[in-house]
Amino acid sequence: MPRNETITELGLDEYKYGFVTEDKPVFKAVPGLSSDIVRQISHHKEEPDWMLEFRLKALEVYYSKPMPKWGGDLSKLEDTLDEIYFYLKPQDQMERSWDDVPQEIKDTFEKLGIPEAERKALAGVGAQYESEMVYHSLKEQWEEQGVIFESIEDGLARHPDLFRQYFSTVVPTHDNKFAALNSAVWSGGSFVYIPKGVKVEIPLQAYFRVNAERMGQFERTLIICEEGAEAHYIEGCTAPVYSTDSFHSGVIEIVVKKGARFRYTTIQNWSNNMYNLVTQRALVHEEAKMEWLDGNLGSKLTMKYPSCYLVGERAHGEILSIAYAGDGQHQDTGGKVIHAAPNTTSQITSKSISKGLGRSSYRGLCKVYDGAEGAKSNVECDALLLDETSRTDTYPYIEIDENTASIGHEATVSKVGDEQLFYLMSRGLDEAEAMAMIVRGFIEPVAKELPLEYAIELNRLIELEMEGSVG
């Protein structure tokens, strides 16, 4: 069968994302969490005092907040948290060019099959390996334009005032338990600054990978898109398969100023034992436009709701998400839009696919504050079940305090139909191919928004996940 042939040719077999590169960290903290660990992290990063204080305060907030009772099953998470490493630093220094990147790490990228989507655009890539940025290069023209795209650590060290002005302003420490945890132990991530009026044509890409067993990944990304600026940031990651539960809890903060446009694209494919609890939020000012494009595959439990806080008049927020829940996986995803200014508009489009004992939930919030006259929001969520055992549910929360607002919500659940399968098979496609084609068609409205290489990669990942789902 041609499709299988292609997959073999490319070496995209099931275990592809499950290999381990021998890991040689320069510094590895002891497992578990304590204020000592937090001090060590801050010390190692040679941070200013205010950041150490910030971290320690965040740790207190983390301890004081109970585990969320909603979303997915977090009952085993506390045990996991006792065992993971909260910090890991594979290298002392940031790499300046691709030639300086150690062979072992290049091998990792090689095995990940990065060519299509990432390596090609390496000129503009910051890739995160373990907790730190190990590779970093910036197109000269961007530097000339004043664009900053570096590791979050460098952002803090080199642009302390700018950093401090925005850091934790979009996602405050006390926002939720995991935002507090991230604030205490964050490590790695990107710092991006797009100056006023600058339009960055090539997407800024970060590819990273969690590579040490039981290692927590607490990436932190801060993005500031100044007035009238435009940019697209892409982050994708794959994690290897491990037997113990692992944990990922990132915080992404984005400020989109007046008239600016920003798009943040993530494709995540975590190993099946990963808890993935991420806070992604954008503050969208007057006439600005923010788009989240979010693909979630793998993990044991993902809880992720990209948010747009529409704080300026005519601000627009868009959230497009695709989730794939295979056996033993729970994807609790969706989006939040907060309309806090007049004539703000938003669109949430969510597509989920569940298979076997997989479960996908759409969880969304649409809030319109009093005074946000003429706000318009539309939510569309479609779930596709691949078999009888998979499950999906929808939790739309709508809070409207403004009577001129108009809100639309549409939800559909469909099962891959026997008639559809038979139709495709009667044209020569085998059952797996037919199933994959129906799924590809289902996610097409979102996939077509992705750069081509990413759309191809997303389709391939989903096909890999689906292998063995039939016959």
Partner 1 sequence: MSEPLLSIRGLRAKVDGEDGEILRGVDLDVQRGEVHALMGPNGSGKSTLAKVIAGHPAYEVTAGEILFEGEDVLELEPDERSRAGIFLAFQYPAEIPGVSIANFLRTAVNSRLGEGEEMDVFGFQRTLTEKMEMLRMDPGFAARYVNDGFSGGEKKRNEILQMAVLRPALGVLDETDSGLDIDALKVVASGVNRLSEADEALGVLLITHYKRILNYIRPDRVHVMMAGRIAESGGASLADKLEAEGYDWLHRAVAAV
Which is closer to partner 1, CB of 202 or CB of 429? 429
Q: Which residue stretch of 69-77, 102-110, 219-227, 430-438 sits at the interface with partner 1 (rule: CB under 8 A)?
A: 430-438
Beta strands in 305-371 (DSSP E): 307-310, 316-325, 330-339, 345-354, 359-368
Cα–Cα distances (Å) from 324 to 301, 352, 381, 418, in that order, read 11, 6, 14, 21
Which is closer to partner 1, CB of 146 or CB of 417? 417
* 445 contacts partner 1 (rule: CB under 8 A): yes
CB of 363 to partner 1, least distance (A): 24
CB of 111 to partner 1, least distance (A): 23
**Which listed residue (389, 444, 452, 468) binds partner 1 by CB under 8 A?**
444
Which is closer to partner 1, CB of 94 or CB of 429? 429
**Which listed residue (100, 422, 452, 468) binds partner 1 by CB under 8 A?**
422
Show the site string, 363-402: x = touches partner 1 by CB under 8 A, - = not.
----------------------------------------
**Which listed residue (130, 318, 433, 463) binds partner 1 by CB under 8 A?**
433
Crossing angle of helices 35-44 and 177-185, in 10° steps, is 50
* 9 contacts partner 1 (rule: CB under 8 A): yes
* 410 contacts partner 1 (rule: CB under 8 A): no
Count of helix runs (H) and strand runs (E) in the chain: 12, 23
CB of 441 to partner 1, least distance (A): 3
**Which listed residue (365, 424, 450, 455) binds partner 1 by CB under 8 A?**
424
For 98, the token pair is 């691709």
Which is closer to partner 1, CB of 102 or CB of 445? 445
* 443 contacts partner 1 (rule: CB under 8 A): yes
* 456 contacts partner 1 (rule: CB under 8 A): no
CB of 151 to partner 1, least distance (A): 38
**Which listed residue (94, 429, 456, 464) binds partner 1 by CB under 8 A?**
429
Alpha-carbon gap, residue 322 to 293, rounded angstroms: 8
Which is closer to partner 1, CB of 403 or CB of 426? 426
* 301 contacts partner 1 (rule: CB under 8 A): no
* 431 contacts partner 1 (rule: CB under 8 A): yes
Parallel/antiparallel/unpaired status of strands 289-298 and 261-270: parallel
For 468, the token pair is 């063995």
Beta strands in 99-197 (DSSP E): 126-129, 132-136, 148-151, 190-194
Alpha-carbon gap, residue 320 to 138, rounded angstroms: 28
Amino acid at 266: T
* 12 contacts partner 1 (rule: CB under 8 A): no
Sign of CA dihedral 268, 233, 458, 293: positive
* 2 contacts partner 1 (rule: CB under 8 A): yes
Cα–Cα distances (Å) from 192 to 141, 156, 196, 222, 316, in that order, read 15, 11, 13, 6, 21
**Closest by Cα among 234, 318, 319 to 268:** 234
* 438 contacts partner 1 (rule: CB under 8 A): yes
**Which listed residue (434, 458, 461, 462) binds partner 1 by CB under 8 A?**
434
Phi, psi for residue 441 in degrees, rounded to 5: -65, -40
Cβ contact 89:25 at 8 Å = yes
The angle formed by the CA atoms of residues 233, 354 and 9, to the nearest 5 degrees, is: 65
**Which listed residue (23, 313, 430, 449) binds partner 1 by CB under 8 A?**
430
Give the H/E segment covering residue 275.
strand 274-284
Q: What is the CA radius of gyration of the chain?
A: 21
CB of 265 to partner 1, least distance (A): 20
Task: Give the footprint of partner 1 on this chain (CB under 8 A).
Answer: 1-2, 5, 9, 417-420, 422-431, 433-434, 437-438, 440-445
